[in-house]
Structure 1
Amino acid sequence: EREREHALRTCTALLQPFTGLYVGFATLPNQVHRKSVKKGFDFTLMVAGESGLGKSTLVNSLFLTDLHKDRKLLSAEERISQTVEITKHTVDIEEKGVKLKLTIVDTPGFGDAVNNTECWRPITDYIDQQFEQYFRDESGLNRKNIQDNRVHCCLYFIPPFGHGLRPVDIEFMKALQDKVNVVPLISKSDCLTPNEIRKLKDRVREEIDKFGIKVYQFPDCDSDEDEEAKQKDRELKESTPFAVIGSNMVVETRGQKVRGRLYPWGIVEGRCMGVGCVLENQSHCDFVKLRTMLIRTHMHDLKDITCDCHYENYRAHCIHTMTSKMNTDNRVESPIPILPLSTPDVETEKLIKMKDEELRRMQEMLQKMQQQMQHEQDL
């Protein structure tokens, strides 16, 4: 024990003369940045809600793309008889050298039937299937090129015509709350006045708290953030659920071309009396705030929560299930006796040998560093 303590003090003393010298690991963030940009990023976004709430239009507006060029609109009779389906659309987007593989998971048929009992079941099954596939790939031999198709965020569209959440809205969000980051939206907010939007937002927030629905929670700002960043974070949190509109139409206002909706009642600046509703104007809707949250500030956090929370819960459940089954099978069927665990003395001896070996390697490394630094000083 005394020899080990002496060795540690010696290592510390040898390191002290070099603490102020530049080693080079400060470039690690740049290395990570270059590697990440070269590899590219992927993000899977699910949109859910009844037909006609502007899901596809909003996605096109968010990412400035057109995912449904050849889409066929179903008749009312076809929508009623339609079952919930899962459709995927993948597009590669590049901006300033940064590549993003965007996957949009649409859920046509959700909420359109007369009887919507457990209409969310195909959606939850799809999310679990992506977790299962990732778990299989992660547990396999070839782990180098694993494709991440896990759903990172679900935008749930709430109709603007009611007085809060409907039973199907409550049941859907509760069914998905432990599997994916749920972000509720008030769709087609240009149908409402500013006062109606405020009341509907308050009612939705109250019912989310009342029924214990776990929606995506914005992380707290770091203490070293500037006041402007903290103010923007507060505005984002206060704006939920986001009241949004989408448009593929480009309108011209004040000499500038922007995405928005053109109405027949003239040009007056305001909430509901303008060229229509201009998406880029934050006084018209929360489109800019949603885009800021989803793409510019919280996309990585959505992916982290998916990986560290939702997927880890699924993975832990799978491992626990498999372990319990193996233990049960061994107790019932296996004729091989279970080997006793090693005694504490043996484990302690192994640990001491490992520590001694680690100290020896550290001393050798420090001696090499000292010789190299001395050689550079002599030159």
Structure 2
Amino acid sequence: MSSEVKSGNEHPQSYVGFANLPNQVHRKSVKKGFEFTLMVVGESGLGKSTLVNSLFLADLYSDRKIPDAKEKFHKNVKISAKTVEIEERGVKLRLTVVDTPGFGDAINNEDSFQSIVKYIDDQFEKFFHGERGLNRRNITDSRVHCCFYFISPFGRGLKPLDIQFMRQLHQKVNIVPVISRADALTKKEVDDLKKQIRREINDEGIKVYTLPEVDEDEDQEYKEEVRQMKEAMPFAVAGSTTSIEAKGKKLRGRVYPWGVVEIENPEHSDFIKLRNMLITHMQDLQEVTQEVHYENYRLQKLAEEARAGQAELILDHHAGDTATDKEKMKRMLEEKESELRKMQEMMAKMKAEMSMNSSK
């Protein structure tokens, strides 16, 4: 049976108009603008500010004061969020960069990530309450969509602090590891360091952001671009906001006694790959934040509220009971929580088995 739509004179109707829907969505999105929050984390002196300014061709740190050694000695991690609106060819991006000055600068860095974890959870909490409000259509999304974690080029892999931080954050945010100041290393040293970092991330069970698989109907050029971006992770970059002249043309880079480092030259740095990854997969980073990290947080909050509500009902019902009875109630609640955990573990196991079966 044919499902072809025909007009009254029996001629096929060749055009309805819904092919314009993507254009309507695009126009609406462009008019509204886009929002994105990027967090940058790493020790001082790794070129975080320079790289961010290089990526977005903006001066986001013009008012920054560089602390001296005495200030660093007593400095705790502080969270600094700065928002800037960038417009390019009529497309507006409201970019928020969350900086973490003081990270890794103290003598004891055991708790240096706690304020970062709290900031990410606080943004989830704001969004969670916004969803329950009356004006849900206009919720301000301040959730962190991506975290550039800067790794020193002068080590032989990840430091204990690097591993500890990523373990604490990988279930809450999309982590993109970045080897900073890559122009301090030879090409072989960069390749060896990348292999070592990949191996350690895998061995430690850390989940960093991975690019989604490319659809079969995508053109070959895009497939190759994504393949190169995947192979480049962790990105080894050099940033610069200085315009220099080399080979008869102006470019951004660094001048050394032995030559010039061009930050947009793929032979010198992964800067272009990192920028392309961020721009072309900005929507995917937002979707993973919504569907994975935030959803985990939301389910956890709902479970906590359910347990709290159940506890309140039971305690209210037995308000006049003796201390012994209240102790029994407490044990009952603990047993209920234990049952809930077992059910969650069973669900996770079933999902894993289903995932394995579907991949065979």
The TM-score by the shorter chain falls in which range? 0.7 to 0.9
Matched residue, 1:111 = 104
Of 258, 277, 282, the match for 1:299: 282
Q: Residue type matched to 1:283 in 2?
A: E
1:286 maps to which of 270, 273, 290: 270
Deviation sequence 1:332-365 (CA, Å, 0-9, x none): 4369xxxxxxxxxxxxxxxxxxxxxxxxxxxxxx
Instruction: Quote the residue 1:270 is aligned against.
Output: none
SS at match of 2:158: coil
Q: 1:230 aligns with which of 219, 223, 227?
A: 223
Kindly state the Cα deviation for residue 328 of structure 1 after the two structures are TM-superposed. 3.0
In structure 2, the residue matched to 1:125 is: 118
What amino acid is the match of 2:291?
D
Q: Distance in 1 between matches of 2:265 and 2:5?
A: 57
- Give the superposition deviation at 1:129: 0.1
Matching residue within 271, 284, 292 for 1:309: 292
Q: What secondary structure, in the 3-state scheme, does the structure 1 residue paired with 2:255 have?
A: coil
Match of 2:243 among 230, 245, 250: 250
Question: Kindly, what percent of the aligned residue pairs are identical?
Answer: 56
The yes-or-no answer on 1:22 pairing with 2:15 is: yes
State the partner residue of 1:192: 185
Q: Write the distance in 2 (CA, Å) between the matches of 1:230 and 1:13.
A: 36
**Structure having the higher Rg:** 1
Runs of 4+ in 1 over 6 A off after TM superposition: 12-15
1:201 aligns with 2:201: no
* Distance across 1 between alignment mates of 2:137 and 2:197: 44
Partner of 1:36: 29
Distance 2:211 2:58 in 1: 27
User: Which residue of structure 1 aligns with residue 339 of structure 2?
Assistant: none
Structure 2, gaps ≥5 residues long? 319-360
Listed one character per residue, the Cα deviations across residues 246-273 of structure 1 (whole Å, up to 9, x for unaligned) are 11211112222111011133xxxxxxxx
Counterparts in 2 of 1:320 and 1:57: CA distance versus 1, 3 Å: same
Alignment of 1:1-379 (within 5 A): 17=6, 20=13, 22-265=15-258, 274=259, 276-295=260-279, 297-333=280-316
Secondary structure of 1:224's counterpart equals: coil
Counterparts of 1:234 and 1:15, CA distance in 2: 40
**Structure 1 pair 16–22 and aligned structure 2 pair: CA distance change class (3 A):** closer
Q: Distance in 2 between matches of 1:60 and 1:198?
A: 26
Deviation at 1:198, TM superposition (A): 0.7
How far, CA to CA, are the matches of 1:14 and 1:72 in structure 2? 68
Between the aligned partners of 1:171 and 1:205, the Cα distance in structure 2 is 16
Which residue in the other structure is 1:4 paired with? none
**1:260 match: secondary structure:** strand
Residues 277 and 320 (structure 1 numbering): CA distance in 2 closer, same or farther, change over 3 Å? Answer: same
Q: 5+ residue gaps in structure 1?
A: 1-11, 266-273, 336-379
Q: CA deviation at 1:15?
A: 8.7
Q: CA 1:252 to 1:22, structure 2 compared with 1: closer, same or farther past 3 Å?
A: same
Tell me the SS of whatever aligns to 2:135.
Answer: coil
Task: Provide the alpha-carbon RMSD of the alignment.
Answer: 1.8
Identify if the C-alpha distance between structure 1 residues 259 and 325 changes in structure 2 by more than 3 Å, giving closer, same or farther.
Answer: same
Distance 2:216 2:3 in 1: 36
Q: Shift in Å at residue 323 of structure 1?
A: 1.8
Distance 1:25 1:327 in 2: 50
**CA distance, structure 1, for counterparts of residue 55 and residue 92 of structure 2:** 16
CA-CA distance at 1:83 after TM superposition:
0.3
**Counterpart code for 1:189:** A
Residue in structure 1 matched with residue 352 of structure 2 by the alignment: none
Give the whole-Å Cα distance in 2 for the aligned partners of 1:257 and 1:308.
Answer: 43
User: CA deviation digits over 1:49-79, x for unaligned, max 9?
Assistant: 0000000000000000001112111111211
Cα distance in 1 between the residues matched to 2:240 and 2:70: 26
Cα distance, 1:13–1:196 mapped onto 2, change above 3 Å: closer
Call closer, same or farther: CA 1:15–1:333 in 2, change over 3 Å: farther
Secondary structure (helix, strand or coil) at the match of 1:277 reads strand
Give 3-state SS (helix, strand or coil) of 1:91's partner: strand
Tell me the number of residue pairs that the alignment of Structure 1 and Structure 2 aligns: 314
- Cα distance in 1 for residues equivalent to 2:73 and 2:272: 34
Residues 282-337 of structure 1: CA distance to partner in whole angstroms, max 9, x if unpaired?
Answer: 10010010001011x111110110011101111111112112222332344369xx
Tell me which amino acid in the other structure corresponds to 1:60: N
Give how far 1:99 is off.
0.2
